[in-house]
Amino acid sequence: LYDVVALGELIVDFTPVEGISHAFQQNAGGAPANVLAAVAGFHKRTCLISMVGADEFGDFLYREIENRGVGTLGIGRTERFNTTLAFVHLDEQGERSFTFYRKSGADLMLNASEIDYHIIKNARIFHFGSISMTDEPARSATRQAIQTAREHGSIVTFDPNVRPRLWTSIREAKQVIADVLNMVDVLKLSAEELMFITERDDMNVGLQDLMSRYPCSIILLTLGSNGCICCSREGSQWVPGYSVRTVDTTGAGDGFVGAFLGALLDLDKRPENVTMDELVQLARVANACGALVTTKHGGIPSMPSREQVEDFMENYGE
């Protein structure tokens, strides 16, 4: 039995090396892998479903996530396509932009027929994003996996991580995302994504709109250093963030999600049965994990353990 199974991109992120111009360092990347690394930090059993190339980069990714205690049983290797690569650029303000080397990238070549559905049938939580839905065959594979998870009673969680440039058209992106929202129990969004999906400028109106149109039990709207707003059928509440010495925000949203899932598993309730008080407590843990992630460089390497999150929360403000 797995606590959290995630499906999606496992790619190599090349980040600029500080102080050496034009030098890049290779890191394991991809939101689902980051989320599972955070969940593993909460001592939960995880498994990633993805596809990498039968190349050196694929070997590297395998090793990196295995070292973090993330289950690799669902990761396929393909001889026909190379591991997907992304380069991260930092402008003078420290803002990030990406160049993706993904046409025929292995992550997109995940096929519905190649998934081991036993892994999904044995998951308490199934988590996914939208990057595995930008193109076929991974789009159908993602949908099939969500369907299987629902049929077997798993809690389904979704963090779209919208990257408009990866889609052929914005209209298609909105349509595909709207379709899967009908199958999701817990939805995590940034303010930008809320606007993208709902086309509403006002956050409260956008959240109400989503709650009335889709059957989600919980929506988490993350607000960077300002924490998050959590919504359930009982209402919504702002949960302030923690003030920390931020050095790199990579993976903050993924750490937030991973900690939320870890804490939800400890609570041992389905999302629809979580009370507002409990939801606020889960959001506090998630905010603390997100904040801690920003105090270190990188995605996977900066995911804290549950003990580190708890210590931080206990000692905060002293």
* Binding residues for ligand ATP (CB under 6 A): 190, 222-225, 227-228, 241-242, 244, 246, 249, 251-254, 256, 287, 290-291, 294
| Residue placing its CB nearer to ligand ATP in the complex, 56 or 310 | 310
To ligand ATP, the closest distance from the beta carbon of 182 in angstroms equals 22
User: Tokens in use for 198?
Assistant: 């709902």
Query: Omega of the bond prior to 137 within 30 degrees of 0, cis?
Result: yes
- Please give the full DSSP string across the chain, using - where no structure is assigned: -EEEEEES--EEEEEEPTTSTT-EEEEEE-HHHHHHHHHHHTT--EEEEEEEESSHHHHHHHHHHHHTT---TEEEEESSSPPPEEEEEE-TT--EEEEEE-TT-GGGG--GGG--HHHHHTEEEEEE-SGGGSSTTHHHHHHHHHHHHHHTT-EEEE-----GGGSS-HHHHHHHHHHHHTT-SEEEEEHHHHHHHH--SSHHHHHHHHHHHS--SEEEEE-GGG-EEEEETTEEEEE-------S--TTHHHHHHHHHHHHHHHHT--GGG--HHHHHHHHHHHHHHHHHHTTSSSSGGGPPPHHHHHHHHHHTT-
| Residue placing its CB nearer to ligand ATP in the complex, 38 or 115 | 38
To ligand ATP, the closest distance from the beta carbon of 301 in angstroms equals 14
To ligand ATP, the closest distance from the beta carbon of 243 in angstroms equals 7
| Residue placing its CB nearer to ligand ATP in the complex, 73 or 90 | 90
To ligand ATP, the closest distance from the beta carbon of 251 in angstroms equals 5
To ligand ATP, the closest distance from the beta carbon of 312 in angstroms equals 11
| Residue placing its CB nearer to ligand ATP in the complex, 249 or 281 | 249
To ligand ATP, the closest distance from the beta carbon of 263 in angstroms equals 13
To ligand ATP, the closest distance from the beta carbon of 220 in angstroms equals 8
| Residue placing its CB nearer to ligand ATP in the complex, 16 or 224 | 224
| Residue placing its CB nearer to ligand ATP in the complex, 71 or 258 | 258
| Residue placing its CB nearer to ligand ATP in the complex, 70 or 228 | 228
Task: Check if the beta carbon of residue 91 is closer than 8 Å to that of residue 97.
Answer: yes
Q: Which amino acid is at 293?
A: V
| Residue placing its CB nearer to ligand ATP in the complex, 14 or 242 | 242
To ligand ATP, the closest distance from the beta carbon of 106 in angstroms equals 23
CB atoms within 10 A of CB 169: 9
